[in-house]
Amino acid sequence: MATHSNSSFLLHLSLIITALCIAVSQPFIGVNYGQVADNLPSPEASVELLKSTTVGKVRLYGADPAIIKALANSGIGIVIGVANGDIPSLASHPDSATQWVNANVLPHYPESNITMIAVGNEIMGSGDDGLVSQLLPAMQNVQNALNSASLGGKIKVSTVHSMAVLTRSEPPSAGSFDPGLMDILQPLVAFLKNNESPFAINPYPFFAYRSDPRPETLAFCLFQPNSGRVDQVSGKIYSNMFDAQVDAVHSALSSMGFEEMEIVIAETGWPSRGDRNEAGASVENARAYNGNLIAHLRSMVGTPSMPAKSLDTFIFALYDEDLKPGPPSERAFGLFKTDLTMAYDNPPTSPYGPYTPERETQWCVPKVEVSEEELQRNIDYICGNLAIDCGAIQPGGVCYEPNTVLSHATFAMNLYYQNVGRNPWNCDFSQTAMLTSQNPSYSDCVYPGGST
């Protein structure tokens, strides 16, 4: 895989991809490569683009041989998909599954690193009872075909679910599946466990915000400083919607007796535009969600119910897809435009103006007019993150004195900024912070700083 210095990588991939700018691949960070468009770059150009990032996995919605072949010897893990329309034949005829594997897997593996086959997408929420009943038999037949080809332990078989499989997700500890689906879900999840395959889900905090468009909900959905939400049953504190949604799925699986089931995030993302009825669809929010999500995954902090773990997560999507039906936001999830330029490259509506990488050491400090209440909220958010060590401002720490909210907030906000990427949006804190070139260090209290 190609490597880049931080500076050239920032220049090449701009705002959102800066969250990926380290020299080794992130095996748990992937991207969805959709093809519902009439203006996509060639597979070869797309793969070169992917190789210039640190994305470790790609999910396809089908098994396009040109894309799978282009990914050969790239080191990128590949999830290929069985179309929903192919499920009936795969379920009814084992030979059809064998033919599918012979046509879509064997010609490419192992040069193309196919790691999983996703049989169908969001079938459980389709409302098609016939298709739902055929899902598990199709998965079983595909698994048997892989076993016959001696690939059963190497390529996993799963399916992808929407959050609609849950009837309850709040609080997260009370997450539960739709009782009407349990006759199908119970044997399906047992199949996954027996074959060591993951449960794949599509959580979208964007849709949660769209149904509850309050400022505090937006901050909660974008991984930005907020007062958090307490699960009144478990007592766990949630600082973002993503963790809450994932833990609701974990709770639902646990209630079925599958607490150790691996969860994969098959899709999540945020649109960069939408119509006036689609609250939150904007460049700024898309940049914040995807960038902060990647920082959260890289921190390895995990979720409150699954700490110290980073879930395999596929961001939706590589490109905008101009032929997708539905509201405008459906066509605006791309990290890249189809001309291979960055989707968020110096947007004219950005509150930060044109972005250029830092050339000097900078520190993140509170704005003068910010209240102590706002500063304390920032401290609580930052120091509640297990990936941030606030020991320096605890009693006995080198930066504890002066023991004021302002002093402690200044240290904590800068510590957060320096740790998660030194990007302008990491020194925002709901517009309570600013960047300065003046070092706020004093006595033995040294504020971390850095430059690209």
Annotation marks residue 44 as catalytic = no
**Is 205 strand, coil or helix?**
helix
Q: Are strands 363-366 and 229-230 parallel, antiparallel or unpaired?
A: unpaired
Q: How far apart are CA 334 and CA 37, in angstroms?
A: 12
Q: Check 44, 111, 122, 372 and give the catalytic one.
A: 122
**What tokens does 447 get?**
């504020």
Write the DSSP string, 432-446: TEEEESS---BTTBP
For residue 341, give the nearest of 1, 7, 36, 16 by alpha carbon. Answer: 16
Phi, psi of 184 (to 5 degrees): -90, -45
Q: How far apart are CA 263 and CA 256, in angstroms?
A: 14
Assess whether the previous peptide bond of 110 is cis (omega < 30° from 0). yes
Q: Check 267, 278, 321, 374 and give the catalytic one.
A: 267
**What tokens does 373 get?**
């209440």
7: exposed, middle or buried (Cβ count in 10 Å: 0-12, 13-18, 19+): middle
Q: Are strands 229-230 and 237-238 parallel, antiparallel or unpaired?
A: antiparallel
For residue 135, give the nearest of 146, 147, 121, 149 by alpha carbon. Answer: 121
CA distances from 95 to 33, 80, 105, 116, 120 (A): 29, 19, 15, 20, 18
Q: How far apart are CA 130 and CA 127, in angstroms?
A: 9
For residue 313, give the DSSP letter.
E
User: Identity (one letter) of the amino acid at 136?
Assistant: L
Q: How far apart are CA 73 and CA 246, in angstroms?
A: 33
**What tokens does 393 get?**
């401002």
Annotation marks residue 122 as catalytic = yes
Write the DSSP string, 348-381: TT-TT-S-----S-BEEEE-TT--HHHHHHHHHH
Give the catalytic positions in this structure.
122, 267
